[in-house]
Amino acid sequence: MRGFKDSNEIGAKNITLMEKALALEKKGLLGEAEEIYKKLIKNNYRNEIVFINYGSICQHFNKTDNAILLFKEAIKINPKNPVPFFKMGFILNNYGKFYEAYPFAKKAIELNSSLWQGYHNLIKILRNLNRPKDAINTALDAKNLFPNNHLFPGLLGDLNSDISNFVEAFKNYKNAIALAPKDDETLYSFANFSMGIGNRKDSIEYLKKVLKINPLHSITYYSLSTIINVEKEKEIQDKITNLKLTNFKTNKDRYTVLFSKSHVYHKQKNYRESAEVLIRANDLKLKEKPSNIKEVINLSETIREKTSSDSSFNIPKFNFLRNIFIVGLPRSGSTLVESIIGMNKEVYNLGENSILLNALYESKQSNFSEIDDYYLKYTKNYSSKKYTTNKMLSNYMHIPHILSKMQHSKIIYTFRNPLDNLLSMYRAKFTGIGNEYSSSLIDSAKYYIHHFKLMNFYQKKYDDCIYFLNYDRLVNFPDNEIKKLINWLGFDWQNSYLNPHKSQQAFFTASNIQVRSPINNKSVGGWQKYSEMMQLPLTYFNENNFLINSFEKLEDRKK
């Protein structure tokens, strides 16, 4: 009987400990609650709530791997509880593991179809998997199930925008606003959409509405700073430059405000003030998002070494054109090139689309022999036009796959004066993941040299299969350079290629404002306005014997 009594005592102690942990969580004392959950697990207390709550705390503290293990354990304990399935789908999606996230998110809905969060999660995963039609159908189901929830028409706006169904996107954004007229994120989404389709007036109007509701909505200030006219909108300028960082609580908000101020000072031609604020902005950003220069270079080199050791990647294949890949560094002129090619009515601009990664993932078992079929399947999710452009810039890493495994693809590599390029990256407040190195001028210089060495290698390996496009020449001599590009693609000439600012396609990148203006060379040599700040990368280039015109020489070698 004593063993039974001891067991009851241990059980009672564990329950008391769990109740204490739950109370600590309610008070926001997550670190203390975490220690108790650790102790309960050490005591072999197999309660799913312990694992779910401990996993959620790990998620909060960005201990992603630990959180995943804990949620998986909760599923083992009770495979009928939808919560750990939902959390697994959510965390894996945020971790970039979309294929792994999907079955968990789907299972969460099967176990409980009454939680709107489950649908919201699944829709986002489907969008990340480049399955917009499936995402739209799921969002429509959710909209019917939860008719008063503004998030689903908002998502339908995003999804229809992805496939260039702008009329339907507009209707859904407006529906979302009608359901939540004072929701700042809903209003901002519509403002961002308006900006992407070139409707500057509506964009500014709705951005102002956001600030009336939430005067501390930092990204709205940033968006306004990119589109305002300094001669006409002095009130907005003054509002941005007078913002006090102490009013903003998070580091992200503060560096976003600093980027906004820098944009305004730049437009006012106050380059010294712009540079000072810009340095502060990027230094703050690096604290939250440290440079990933080692990771991106290592990944690129790993792919190069692996494909170089496999003879099946040695010989380029080309049958007929269907896919046009535009690659290069960020802010190297890729959006302008995309908009020029998109003036052809048979071309659909995919923008920065990750479908090549889908095709690589799904064709890996066949040593990528089926990659063409998979890539075509994904492009059909967006458009049935004869040609597509894809300007996911990191696709440069996969040049061997594109040229030796895909029979319907050509590559355009865009480049520009390295100091102009580095300055433009430094001034851009990139969102998402992948470009964290851009907040360091030295790391950006390292990346530029890495690009040069790699493209030098691929040029020798694949000869004339890559078109090297000099942005500076393009904007200085558009007639001549655009005609050469269009001829290389094999398209018939039309004068509309010279007027890409009239494009009916949307642009949702950091360059969307510039691309709506006629081709001009205003940014060429712009680094000299920031000459003091740019001495850092210039010195690095000199110390590493890298000539500023290295890419131009590489381009000339092809002629």
Question: DSSP for 357-378?
Answer: HHHHHHHGGGTTTTHHHHHHHH
Around Cβ 479, how many Cβ atoms within 10 Å? 11
414 in Cβ contact with 334 (< 8 Å): yes
Taking 80 as the threshold, does the pLDDT of residue 117 lie above it?
yes
Q: Is the pLDDT of residue 511 over 60?
A: no
Q: Which two tokens stand for residue 212?
A: 């009336």
Q: Over 90: is that where the pLDDT of 389 sits? A: yes
pLDDT (average), residues 210-237: 92
Mean pLDDT (whole number) for 113-120: 95
Q: How many CB atoms lie within 10 A of CB 413?
A: 25
Q: Mean pLDDT across the stretch 79-87?
A: 95
491 falls in which pLDDT band (50, 70, 90)? very high
With CA atoms as reference, report the closest residue to 395 among 353, 361, 425, 365. 353
Amino acid identity, position 92: L
Edge-first strand listing for the sheet containing 323-328: 347-349, 387-390, 323-328, 409-415, 466-470
Which pLDDT band holds residue 38 (cuts at 50, 70, 90)? confident
Tell me what the mean pLDDT of segment 519-530 comes to.
91
End-to-end C-alpha distance for the chain, whole angstroms: 92
HSE (side-chain half, CA atoms, 13 Å) at 234 = 1
pLDDT tier at 341 (50, 70, 90 boundaries)?
A: very high
- Give the list of residues 6+ apart from residue 403 with CB closer than 8 angstroms, or none: 316, 317, 318, 409, 411, 462, 465, 466
Residue 236, pLDDT > 70, answer yes
Average pLDDT over residues 520-545: 94
| Model pLDDT for residues 347-385, shown as the tens digit of each residue | 999 999 999 999 999 999 888 999 999 999 999 999 999
Question: Residue 11 — pLDDT band, cuts 50, 70, 90?
Answer: low
Task: Determine what percent of the chain is predicted with pLDDT higher than 90.
Answer: 76
Which domains are assigned to the chain? 293-557 (3.40.50.300)
Please return the burial class of 388, using the count of CB atoms within 10 Å of its CB with bins 0-12, 13-18 and 19+: buried
**pLDDT above 60 (res 339):** yes
Residue 313: the pLDDT is 94
Whether the Cβ atoms of residue 328 and residue 425 lie closer than 8 Å to each other: no
When pLDDT is cut at 50, 70 and 90, the band that residue 509 belongs to is: low
| pLDDT at site 510 | 55
Quote the CA–CA distance of 334 and 298 in Å, as a whole number. Answer: 24
Average pLDDT value for residue range 326-346: 94
- Ramachandran category for residue 47: left, alpha or beta (phi over 0 → left; psi -120 to 50 → alpha): beta
Q: Which of the residue ranges 58-72, 173-187, 274-288, 435-449 would you say has the lowest mean pLDDT?
A: 58-72
**325: helix, strand or coil:** strand
Task: Name the CA radius of gyration of the chain, rounded.
Answer: 26
Strand ranges in 371-465 using DSSP code E only, listed in sequence order: 387-390, 409-415
Which of these ranges, 1-10, 42-51, 238-247, has the smallest mean pLDDT? 1-10
Tell me the residue type at 520.
N
* Model confidence at 193: pLDDT above 50: yes
| Close Cβ partners of 87 (under 8 Å, ≥ 6 residues apart) | 52, 55, 56, 59, 67, 71
Average pLDDT of the residues in 7-19: 72
Q: For residue range 263-314, what is the model confidence (pLDDT) as tens digits?
A: 999 999 999 999 999 999 999 999 989 999 999 999 999 999 999 999 999 9
Q: What does the pLDDT read at residue 17?
A: 82
Can you give the pLDDT at residue 512?
52
pTM of the model: 0.89
Residue 492: which pLDDT band, with cuts at 50, 70 and 90?
very high
Contact 67, 91 (CB under 8 A): yes
Contact 121, 91 (CB under 8 A): no
Helix pair 166-179, 151-162: axis angle to 10 deg? 160
101 has a pLDDT exceeding 60: yes
In angstroms, the CA 123 to CA 187 distance is 20
Q: Which residue has the higher pLDDT, 5 or 154?
A: 154
At 427, the amino acid letter reads R
Q: How far apart are CA 444 and CA 471, in angstroms?
A: 18
pLDDT band for position 3 (50/70/90)?
very low
Beta strands in 65-157 (DSSP E): none
User: ∠227-233-235 over CA atoms, to 5°?
Assistant: 120
Query: For residue 1, what pLDDT is reported?
Result: 40
